[in-house]
Structure 1
Amino acid sequence: MGRTNPTFRDTLTALERRWDDYRRALRRRDQPHFDRLFTHAREHADASGLLNHQNPMDPVLVSIALEQQRAIERLQSRVDTLEATVESVPDDPTGRSDC
């Protein structure tokens, strides 16, 4: 019988385990953020597996960057909407400010 190559998800799980000591050394408040990074990587495991890169950390980092870019663009869109809303509010004729 032939050998089965590990899937990228298997490789990612092994990679995450190698970072266990680092995770444990993080402050508790940072651990959920660290976990979220690997969640981002898992969300793109199919694409990463197709890449079949020699260094599995490279597609992991690109996956994390991709998710962070999506978050940045979502937040920028919200900021743009809020700024447009604030700019469209007429000035208070009394000169008072709620700020």
Structure 2
Amino acid sequence: MGRTNPTFRDQLRHLEEQWATYRRALRYDHQEHFDRLFEYARAHADASGHQNPTDPMPAILLSIALEHERHLQEFEAELEELQQALETLEALESAETAEKHSDRAEEPANVDA
């Protein structure tokens, strides 16, 4: 016996075709973002297919949310690294400034008599 339901990938392709008019109406620079959303859905098509959904939209939206969450985690980790690097630089700069001030305090005063 064959498959009675279309595969998730078939449903996804069909849905993408249904939204083609919407995509064409988007501004050119927004079209790539729209395409990326379907790329996210395709990236998780295997997991979505295991659900064997009659309506693919919840699986598509969950796939998009999952990718956004993954990107958010990456950005947060990168931000944390940058914040630590900035704190290190600020600490070094502060130490150098303090050292310059202490060197000036130790210099003898030049008194003309």
Task: Provide TM-score, normalisation by structure 1.
Answer: 0.87
Equivalent residue for 2:79? 79
**How far apart are residue 2 of structure 1 and its match?**
4.8
Q: 1:62 aligns to what?
A: 62
Give how far 1:3 is off.
5.5
- CA shift for structure 1 position 6: 1.5
Q: CA deviation at 1:88?
A: 1.3
Q: What residue is the counterpart of 2:11 in the other structure?
A: 11
Secondary structure (helix, strand or coil) at the match of 1:62 reads helix
Higher radius of gyration, 1 or 2: 2
User: What is the aligned-residue identity percentage?
Assistant: 50
- Shift of the 7–33 alpha-carbon distance from structure 1 to 2, 3 Å rule, reads same
Displacement after TM superposition at 1:55 (Å): 1.8
SS in 2 for 1:60: helix
Which residue pairs with 2:106 in the alignment?
A: none
Q: Match for residue 91 of structure 1? A: 93
Change beyond 3 A, Cα 1:18–1:88 = same
| Aligned-pair CA distance for 1:4 | 4.4
**Whole-Å separation in 2 of the counterparts to 1:3 and 1:48:** 16
Q: 8 Å contact 2:37–2:64 — kept in the other structure? A: yes
Q: How many residues align?
A: 94
Q: Which runs of 5+ in 2 are unaligned?
A: 101-113
Q: 1:33-48 counterparts in 2 under 5 A?
A: 33-48=33-48
Can you give the 5+ residue segments of structure 1 that lack an aligned partner in the other structure?
95-99
Q: Deviations over 1:35-94 (max 9, x none)?
A: 000000000001101112232100000000000100000000000000001101212517
Alignment partners' CA distance in 2, 1:3 and 1:71: 35
Aligned residue in 2 for 1:27 = 27
Change (3 A) 1:33 1:8: same
Q: Which moved more, 1:85-94 or 1:38-47?
A: 85-94
